[in-house]
Amino acid sequence: MKVVTVVGARPQFIKASAVSREFPKRNVEEVIVHTGQHYDANMSDIFFKELGIPTPRYNFEIRSSRHGEMTGRMLESIETVLLGEKPDWVLIYGDTNSTLAGALAAAKLHIPIAHVEAGLRSFNRAMPEEVNRIMADHLSSILFSPTELGRKNLISEGIPSTKISVVGDVMYDVSQYYGSLANKNKILLQRLGLEEKKFILLTCHRQENTDNIDRLKAIFLGLNDVAEKMPVVCPIHPRTKKYLLDAEWFKPSKELKLIDPIGYLDMVTLEHTSALIATDSGGVQKEAFFYEVPCVTLRDETEWEELIEGGWNILVPPLSKEVVRDGVLSRLNRMGKKIFPYGDGKASQAIVDAMVRGV
């Protein structure tokens, strides 16, 4: 059996690392296609090395541009690969432009599609990710949902239950595999001048925040205020950096540490050892929960409602710097309940088993 895996962004590399380890155990040939959506070496290359993912056979280096242009170029390139490779499955992850392009290319060629992390919904169609995930789900032959809620969302949209498999979350698989290793890396904390459980980790990359000057100002001015009380470290996404570099309104506090993008193990170290995580990332919300760290999500909604209900996460829409500052400070030392919504750490095995069976 041959599988073409389409990836392009940091969260997909992480998820793929768990599933890719399972393919050789079932004598499955995997052909990895990297669209190049994340092209910075610290956002891309280092993840393949650290996570032990096989080197992509194809790398299109299709870099940031308008959504339609990027998706169209990816679609054309992926189609060419699929015509040459003739896979039994196309495997896609999450909700990026790479996800949508992979799904469209496979559907046009009548190749079965497997979608990992199916059924997530923010119910906000203004988010490009929401449009991508909905279209990918409705094109897919088998939908691997991480949660029961995801299954219910898919059924409510008319997708047959026979196509849906609740397997748990591959991110949980990854966290169990790498978490203890990353937690031993304290050199990073020393280099950044941080003390364990005495700093806040910030990540910000969503278009809804970076492309809206009022929201961007609320986040960084709010966290600038927070840094006066507790250090804040932010591995800065290239998109966010572009907007902050020449911003006259932004004068970072000494204790708001903006650093270059870092590798996966270094990121997990910061997540493990932080007192709180403030983020607009879906994946980082879950990683915070896996490592039992309180989380503030800087968005109007989240796909991971179970973390809100369990008390591990709250939504703080970045309406003003005061809202962000007070929301973040209110969550310090606030732990959630013991909940187990994401499976048993064997989602990757279930995914590969199902693909091999062809159901």
Tell me the pLDDT of the chain averaged across its residues. Answer: 92
Which residues have CB under 8 Å from 184's CB, separation 6+? none
Give the distance from CA 4 to its chain's centroid: 20
Asked whether 294 and 276 are in contact (CB, 8 A), the reply is: yes
Q: What is the DSSP letter of 142?
A: E
Q: State the architecture of 178-330 in CATH terms.
A: 3-Layer(aba) Sandwich (3.40)
Are 115 and 94 contacting, i.e. CB atoms less than 8 angstroms apart? no
Helix 10-22 and helix 347-357, axial crossing angle in degrees, nearest 10: 70
Catalytic residue among 115, 205, 237, 272: 205
- 183, pLDDT greater than 70: no
pLDDT band, very low/low/confident/very high, at 181 (cuts 50, 70, 90): low
Sequence length of the chain is: 359
Domain ranges of the chain: 2-169+343-357, 178-330
Cβ neighbours around 241 below 10 Å, total: 14
Q: Do the two domains 2-169+343-357 and 178-330 of this chain adopt the same fold?
A: yes
Write the DSSP string, 288-330. Answer: HHHTT--EEE-SS--S-HHHHHTTSEEE---SSHHHHHHHHHH
**Type of residue numbered 28:** V
User: Whose structure tokens read 């409602």?
Assistant: 305
Could you give the CA distance from residue 71 to residue 210 in angstroms, rounded to a whole number? Answer: 20
Give the pLDDT band (50/70/90) at residue 46: low
55 CB-side CA count, 13 A: 1
Task: Answer whether 59's CB lies under 8 Å from 83's CB.
Answer: no
Helix (H) or strand (E) holding 269: helix 264-273
Q: Strand, helix or coil at 320?
A: coil
Neighbours of 116 (CB within 10 A): 27
Cα(125)–Cα(106) distance, rounded to whole angstroms? 24
pLDDT score recorded for residue 242: 80
> pLDDT per residue over 291-307, tens digit each?
999 999 999 999 899 99
Q: Has residue 42 got a pLDDT over 60?
A: no
pLDDT at residue 186 above 90? Answer: no
The 10s digit of each residue's pLDDT in 304-352 is: 999 999 999 999 999 999 999 999 999 999 999 999 999 999 999 999 9
Which amino acid is it at 38?
H
The alpha carbon of residue 68 and the mean position of all alpha carbons in its chain are separated, in whole angstroms, by 21
**Rg of the chain in Å (alpha carbons):** 20
Q: Are 332 and 294 in contact (CB under 8 A)?
A: yes
Percent of the chain with pLDDT strictly greater than 70: 94
Residue 344's φ and ψ, nearest 5 degrees, are -110, 15
Mean pLDDT along residues 136-144: 98
pLDDT above 90: residue 180:
no
What is the spatial distance between Cα 334 and Cα 305, in angstroms, rounded to a whole number? 17
pLDDT band at 265 (very low <50, low <70, confident <90, very high): confident
Amino acid making up residue 122: S
Which residues make Cβ contacts (< 8 Å) with residue 282, sequence separation at least 6? 11, 120, 302, 303, 304
Residue 233 has pLDDT above 70, yes or no: yes
Question: What CATH fold (topology level) applies to the domain 2-169+343-357?
Answer: Rossmann fold (3.40.50)
Structure tokens that stand for 280 in this block: 């607009």
Residue 245 has a pLDDT of 77
Assign 182 a pLDDT band (cuts: 50, 70, 90): low
Name the DSSP letter for residue 165.
Answer: E
Annotated catalytic, 205?
A: yes
Distance CA 51, CA 55 (A): 11
Rounded to an integer, what distance in angstroms lies between the CA atom of residue 319 and that of residue 310? 24
